[in-house]
Structure 1
Amino acid sequence: MMSEKKVVRYKLVRHKWPDEIEAEKKQRKRRIGIIALCVIFFFSGYGLNRFLSRSDVTNDKTFAKLSEVYTIMKNKFYFGKDKEDFNEQLINGAIKGMVDAGGDQHTMYLNNEQSENFTSSMEGSVVGIGVTMYALDDNTFIISDIIKDSPAEKAGLHAGDQIYAVDGKVLKNTSTEEVAKKVKGESGTKVKLEIIRSGKHIEKTITRKKVNGTVFSEIKGDTAKIELTTFAETSGDEFGRHLEDIKKAKVKHLIIDLRDNSGGYLKAALQIASYLMQDDQVIFKEDDHDGNITEYKTLNGYEHYTFDKLLILVNGGTASASEALTAALKEQAQAIVIGEKTYGKGTVQIPLPFKDGSMLKYTTGEWITPKGNKLNKVGITPDIKVAQEAAYVTGMPQLDKEEFAFDTVNEAASPVQIYLKFLGYAVDRTDAYFSYTSAKALTQYQKDHELKADGKIREEVCRSLVSDCLRKWRNDPYKYDLQLKKAMEIANEK
């Protein structure tokens, strides 16, 4: 979860964690699931003193030292008297220290708010407006996707719109979590957004509602495309319903888009694989702490769907459950993998909520493909490598000064010239040198968008360029999404 530019995807303005893209809110007691890995185990929280009083711990000198340090910090540390909830801070800090000492970025201790955000993201639905956002910086939030039939779509929001203000408050020096809280709310209530589109400020009042969906599909000719944004608890069933509709349309080929899908519940991956593989086939294996290898096979009672060509889109944001599913379909269902090398997260985590609302999410094992290949820190190399359109993957430039003109060497010049080229303006280069020709192109762009037309690069111009590029790319993905375009070409080959 995992991109060099600061990208946070929200399904209905929903948080995604950076270690597994991004990044996926509200833990519920779960039924005993299809397999043990999808069960959430609940444990009672123990105070540190009670923990340290256990016979198997007090005999250990190391834990005795920990207890002594805790007692000193709690009762004798000079600055402790001025700290609110200092006892809780000490315990949380000690737990975090133990977790961090493991050296595993996917094992983490989450406080109450982080725990709520994590578990809610896995639910598959949330009350909001139905958008996905890119956070370019603490002041700039760009809409990258609009969920079909969502309040955002009905209100006329577009991919590429910049959310400038929420309920009259301009978004400055804020976090993505704070933006999420502002946009979410109770179903039936209204939120007022001020957006910037092509340099113009537009106000939209949108009524919030519960929007379900982590799976989206569309049909183009003989080919259907299903996009999975995450593997939530509802994703497997959703995927099955989309397959039913696709079957009725009698399409020949299926494209599964797992790009920037950072994973989630392996239960959902098992369900989806069971629709596309045959009975009694191995989907993946688990190597646990004790070296035991457990095989997970296709589930009983699932209708099998077959296609002439099965294609999977992946990139560097494809991780965890997405990689497990991709590997299974590649090795067992002859799927063709297209795009860029995946992230390489082949471990499984179990979240353990405590009574106080905090949570420990820790790694319990490593996933192995049906043919015995490891995924962790390796990833999946696509069968057909296709780099994405440069304007789409180029992050917003960070200016080291307020503005600069042509005949200047500056790292910000390259992204600006790449954006201009994608938008159809006549630039003569895309490196860090800002040329006279490119400055002329920028001047024309500024005129076309009612910006100060002086050919100089500044933050306002950069934001407008990013927004316009994203809008153009999203509005015609079959033309500008180079990976999707390649998949369609392969599907249409005789």
Structure 2
Amino acid sequence: MKNTKMMVVGFVSAVAVSLILSTSLFAKNTVAAPTEASVEASRLQSLAKFTKVLSIVEQYNVDGLTVDQLIDKSLQGMLSNLDAHSTYMDKKSYDNLKTQTDGEFGGLGITVGMRDNALTVIAPIEGTPADKAGIKAGDIILKINDKSTLSMTIDDAVSIMRGAPKTPIDLTIVRKGLADPLKIHIIRDIITVQSVYTRNISGNILYIRVTSFDKKVAADVKKAIKKYSGKSKGIILDLRNNPGGLLDQAVDLTDLFVDEGIIVSQKGRNKADDMTYKATKSNTITDLPLVVLVNEGSASASEIVSGALQDLKRAVIVGEKTFGKGSVQVVMPITETEGIKLTVARYYLPSGRTIQAVGVTPDIEVAAGEIKKHEKSFNIKEADLKEHLVSELEKSDGMIDVTEANATNKTVITPEQMNRDIQLKEGVDIIKALIIVKGK
């Protein structure tokens, strides 16, 4: 399929280059049906217009650009005007793509996208320089160093932000709720991402945080669920600030929780791009109550997982509306050193709804923030009495209860930590209610 597309791209380019020599001959020899002939005539007229403009610009433009440079700019303009994710990649951009897919690279650790024609942070990756510097999902990047991002493509922006480790960069951002732009200084570093973290809550709730969808996500989550099998009574899957990743991992992760039905489908202009991914009973490993946490930094693969689990009535979705990136891009080489990234299809959830520019709306919407507590000036608890009773929770075996855990213990999430994350606290309360209902 990809080879066919590459041939089509090459054919169009060849026609454009040889148009002046071949137009009259092509018109005389055509034997197509009338409707096809009119389409070809329109195509030739459009190509003739392009060639004429190209010739005029080459001859009179003040900067004296070469034909190759003008063609490259034309391709960049055409692809970038299709949608926010399609782009033409010259040698430098193509090399950057290869660097990114190799695994480790020097950068900031953020995923960006275009929202309302503005370069927007989809999410910072947990533990990276951008995350530590305070970059947040939804931040609009106005400047990279002193260069404005106005009319800058995503690939250009990424190329500038990526660089050698330990080198500095300044981002000027606009953040919702703040009157003035912020200038944030960041030191680049090697970006290596741990995608799956697990914690325990209240002794019987398994908390799974997925930061991105790399090639090991489904296997790591499966391993965590099996490890705590018999000890956990409910699961919280945290997909907040997860910018997405590999489609097959989103499908495989969802398949761990559902045993039948469509997980996601993709539909494009060409039938060959249409695909349907279904759950299989043999891959399902748990039917425990499930809550999924999302926010505006949850995009692409994260939206497929949360949206599918919502449509299939398998999980309660808690948090904020997701980013809304539901399109499929493929990379097609046009030479050995150049290529294009083209949107060829859109994702659709089991109910048939689209994610693109819409996102997933949580079942229970909860804004990010802390739980405010008012300390009482005077109170006495059972533990304050000289001969207090030993709590039954302290006797429980199995996983460590959070009431016993030190705040520095990384195997658990404490009540104090939950109080600083109201979305997580709401998710825990819902899971506890679902556990009670299931136990009846």
Which band: TM-score by shorter chain?
0.5 to 0.7
Query: What aligned pairs does 1:89-100 form with structure 2 within 5 A after superposition?
Result: 89-100=69-80
What does residue 86 of structure 2 align with? 107
Between 1:93-102 and 1:45-54, the stretch displaced more is: 45-54
Distance 1:252-1:240 versus aligned 2 partners, 3 A rule: farther
Match of 1:268 among 235, 244, 249: 249
Aligned to 2:48: 64
Match of residue 29 from structure 1:
none
**CA 1:159–1:112 in 2, change beyond 3 Å: closer, same or farther?**
same
Equivalent residue, structure 1, for 2:262: 282
Determine which of 40, 62, 74 is the counterpart of 1:79.
62
Report 1:338-417 matches (<5 A): 338-355=318-335, 357-389=337-369
Distance 1:245 1:59 in 2: 56
1:217 aligns with 2:186: no
What residue in structure 2 maps to residue 230 of structure 1? 212
Instruction: State percent identity of aligned pairs.
Output: 24
Does residue 235 of structure 2 align to residue 254 of structure 1? Answer: yes
Counterpart amino acid of 1:79? V
- Structure 1 pair 40/387, CA: closer, same or farther in 2 (3 Å)? farther
Q: Secondary structure at the match of 1:296?
A: strand
Can you list the C-alpha shifts for 1:33-89, whole angstroms capped at 9, x where unaligned? xxx9xx899847749862423766997111022123223433x235344x5xx3332
* CA distance in structure 1 between the aligned counterparts of 2:14 and 2:421, rounded to whole angstroms: 57
Superimposed CA distance per residue, residues 307-346 of structure 1 (whole angstroms, 9 cap, x where no aligned partner): 4211111112222222122121122251110001122233
Unaligned runs of 5+ in 1: 1-35, 136-142, 163-170, 184-190, 195-204, 392-420, 423-475
Query: CA separation in 2, counterparts of 1:95 and 1:106?
Result: 14
- Among 253, 257, 278, which residue is 1:297 paired with? 278
Q: Is the 8 A contact 1:348 1:366 kept in 2?
A: yes
8 Å CA contact 2:264, 2:277 repeated in 1 = yes
What is the letter of the counterpart of residue 221 of structure 2?
Answer: H
Q: CA deviation at 1:268?
A: 1.9
- Give 3-state SS (helix, strand or coil) of 1:92's partner: helix
For 2:49, the aligned partner's letter is K
Distance 2:99 2:110 in 1: 17
Q: In the TM superposition, what is the alpha-carbon distance from 1:388 to its structure 2 partner?
A: 0.6
Mark the runs of 5 or more structure 2 residues left unpaired by the alignment.
20-25, 27-39, 113-123, 136-143, 148-156, 170-186, 374-415
The number of aligned residues is: 324
Length-normalised TM-score, structure 1: 0.54
What are the residue-to-residue correspondences of 1:193-204 with 2, within 5 Å?
Answer: none
2:333 partner letter: P
Change (3 A) 1:477 1:348: farther
Q: Is the 8 A contact 2:210 2:217 kept in 1?
A: no
For residues 76 and 167 of structure 2, what CA distance do their matches in structure 1 show? 39
SS of alignment partner, residue 243 of structure 2: coil
Q: In 2, distance between residues paired with 1:381 and 1:210?
A: 31
Secondary structure of the structure 2 residue equivalent to 1:60? helix
- 2:312 counterpart (309, 323, 332): 332
Deviation at 1:284, TM superposition (A): 1.5
Cα deviation, 1:139-160, whole Å, max 9, x if unaligned, reads xxxx98427xxxx9xxxx9945
One-letter code of the match for 1:487?
A: G
Q: Distance in 1 between matches of 2:301 and 2:57?
A: 42
Are 2:289 and 1:309 equivalent residues in the alignment?
Answer: yes
Mapped partners of 2:163, 2:13: distance in 1 = 36
Opposite residue 265 of structure 2, the aligned amino acid is K
Counterparts in 2 of 1:323 and 1:128: CA distance versus 1, 3 Å: same
State how far apart, in whole Å, the 2-side matches of 1:238 and 1:40 are: 30
| Inter-partner Cα distance in structure 1 for 2:3 and 2:237 | 28
Aligned to 2:428: 488
| Structure 2 length-normalised TM | 0.60
Structure 1 residue identity aligned to 2:366: V
Query: Aligned in 2, Cα 1:158/1:69: closer, same or farther, shift over 3 Å?
Result: closer
CA contact (8 A) 1:73 1:80 kept: no
2:6 corresponds to 1:50: no
Q: For residue 62 of structure 1, give the secondary structure of its aligned residue in structure 2.
A: helix
By how many angstroms is 1:161 displaced?
A: 7.9
Task: Give how far 1:90 is off.
Answer: 0.7
Deviations 1:254-298 (A, max 9, x none): 2222222233332221222222221x5211122321579643213
Q: Is the contact between residue 215 and residue 239 of structure 1 (CA under 8 Å) also seen in structure 2?
A: no
Rounded Cα–Cα distance in structure 2 between residues aligned with 1:289 and 1:48? 18
**What is the correspondence of 1:438-477 to structure 2 with a 5 Å cutoff?**
477=417
Q: 1:42 to 1:254 in 2, by over 3 A?
A: farther
Is the partner of 2:283 in helix, strand or coil?
A: coil
- Structure 2 matches for 1:86-165, cutoff 5 A? 86-102=66-82, 104-118=83-97, 120-121=99-100, 125-127=103-105, 132=109, 145-146=126-127, 159=132
- Secondary structure, counterpart of 2:237 in structure 1: strand
The answer (yes or no) to whether the contact 2:195–2:211 under 8 Å persists in 1 is yes
Looking at structure 1, the residues matched to 280 and 250 of structure 2 have their Cα atoms a distance apart, in angstroms, of 11
Q: Tell me, what secondary structure is at the counterpart of 2:104?
A: strand
Determine if contact 1:347/1:365 at 8 Å carries over to the other structure. yes
